[in-house]
Amino acid sequence: MSHRLSLYILCLLATLLFPGNALIAASPEEKLKELGIELPIPAKSIANYVGATRMGNVVFMSGHIPRKADGSLVVGKIGADLSVEDGYDAARLCGVGLLATLKAEIGDLSKVKRVLKVFGMVNATDSFTGHSQVINGCSDLLVEIFGEKGRHARAASGFSSLPLGSAVEVEMIVQVEPQ
């Protein structure tokens, strides 16, 4: 018996004996379901721009603000109205919105080859310095969903205000499978 066939049989047996084991990675859709995350219908642009633009196998995502399941926004200033934890949760909501827009653009999140770059903007007080801890909310979500493919280059910056008073805004660049 060839080495490749032996390995295949071993993996098949492990799958049958231990369903859900780490030998077979869950798809991004399965990961979302495991986390209890339902992707919303992507928000419509409020101005003359689109949520995503594709050039070849790279998708450039517009900035997304934190929308709760009921459609309301997380607003306020981190370091004054909101805590780092509130900001983390808001950045995670931005990530959920980004994933919804990405799925609408490419059809299936399994087509993601790599999250290349995340740029996080934090509505913060002048003295606030924990911007990276806030944007970790989005980064952690992307790694939870895509594993190593979700690790990315990143910037996290503070701003004196953001659109509609949002606590956070995040944009993203993703490499996907060719069309």
Domain ranges of the chain: 37-176
Query: What pTM was computed for the model?
Result: 0.86
Integer Cα distance of 109 and 39 in angstroms: 11
Using CA atoms, how far apart are residues 124 and 82, in angstroms rounded to an integer? 9
Q: What is the pLDDT of residue 111?
A: 98
Q: How confident is the model at residue 9 (pLDDT cuts 50, 70, 90)?
A: low
**What distance in Å separates the CA atoms of residue 110 and residue 29, rounded to the nearest whole number?**
8
The answer to whether the Cα torsion of 122, 83, 140, 127 is positive or negative is positive
CATH superfamily to which 37-176 belongs: RutC-like (3.30.1330.40)
- Token look-up 């660049």 returns 173
Q: At what angle do helices 84-106 and 131-146 cross, to 10 degrees?
A: 40
Strand ranges (E), the chain: 52-55, 58-64, 112-123, 153-159, 168-176
User: What are the pLDDT digits (tens) for 52-92?
Assistant: 999 999 999 999 999 999 999 999 999 999 999 999 999 99
pLDDT for the residue numbered 45: 83
